[in-house]
């Protein structure tokens, strides 16, 4: 793994892929949230207004920026609209990295997180691309991508975000949430 050119980026890649693991990434804990807040919240706010192009000069910085704008807010602002506030930037970064073929040659876990903004998108075109790319590049996560796609194909949005985003939840959406479709 090439070191990112920016210290915050190198630090985030090290923390995410060397210090944390699947239980931390997907389990959600106060300790991990606090650590991420102390180390990266200032960077999220300092850099979160910049265009994707500012992060697409090298692959390592771009990878770290995807994590910063996709994963870090989901840990820091869980259950609030702010958790999704940087999704457009993370998605633009993912598209920019894919256009440069910067996903090729990465380990599967790194590809998985590079592709996550596609899975998190509420646009069906991104969901279709997510399915194709997860199937090819991160097959262990494909069932998860497929379940996300199904929610967008069915509802056009993620029902579990409705409360945080001030949207009305339909009875069918509530049944989906109650059935466990609330990542």
At residue 73, the pLDDT reads 98
Residue 2 has pLDDT above 90, yes or no: no
Q: What is the CATH number of domain 7-178?
A: 1.25.40.10
Residue 124 has pLDDT above 70, yes or no: yes
- Burial string for 44-56 (b: 16+ CB within 10 Å, else e) reads beebbeeebeebb
- Chain centroid to CA 146: 16
Tens of pLDDT, residue by residue over 137-169, are: 999 999 999 999 999 999 999 999 999 999 999
The overall longest dimension of the chain from CA atoms, in Å, is 49
Q: What is the DSSP string of 113-146?
A: HHHHHHHH---HHHHHHHHHHHHHH-GGGHHHHH
Residue 1 has pLDDT above 50, yes or no: no
User: What's the whole-model pTM score?
Assistant: 0.93
For residue 157, count other CB atoms closer than 10 A to its CB: 15
Lookup result for tokens 């109650």: 178
* In the chain, domain spans: 7-178
Residue 32 has pLDDT above 50, yes or no: yes
Tens of pLDDT, residue by residue over 54-103, are: 999 999 999 999 999 999 999 999 999 999 999 999 999 999 999 999 99
């Amino acid at each position: 793994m090439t070191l990112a050119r920016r210290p915050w980026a190198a630090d985030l890649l090290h923390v995410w892929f060397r210090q944390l693991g699947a239980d931390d990434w997907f389990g959600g804990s106060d300790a991990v949230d606090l650590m991420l807040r102390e180390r990266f919240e200032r960077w999220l706010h300092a850099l979160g207004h910049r265009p994707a192009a500012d992060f697409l000069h090298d692959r390592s910085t771009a990878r770290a920026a995807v994590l910063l704008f996709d994963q870090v807010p989901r840990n820091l602002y869980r259950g609030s609209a702010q958790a999704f506030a940087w999704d457009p930037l993370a998605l633009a970064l993912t598209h920019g990295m894919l256009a440069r073929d910067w996903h090729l040659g990465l380990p599967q876990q790194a590809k998985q997180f590079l592709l996550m903004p596609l899975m998190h998108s509420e646009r069906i075109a991104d969901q279709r691309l997510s399915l194709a790319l997860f199937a090819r590049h991160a097959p262990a996560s494909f069932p998860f991508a497929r379940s996300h796609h199904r929610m967008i194909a069915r509802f056009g949005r993620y029902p579990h975000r409705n409360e945080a985003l001030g949207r009305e939840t339909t009875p069918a959406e509530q049944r989906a949430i109650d059935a466990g479709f609330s990542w």
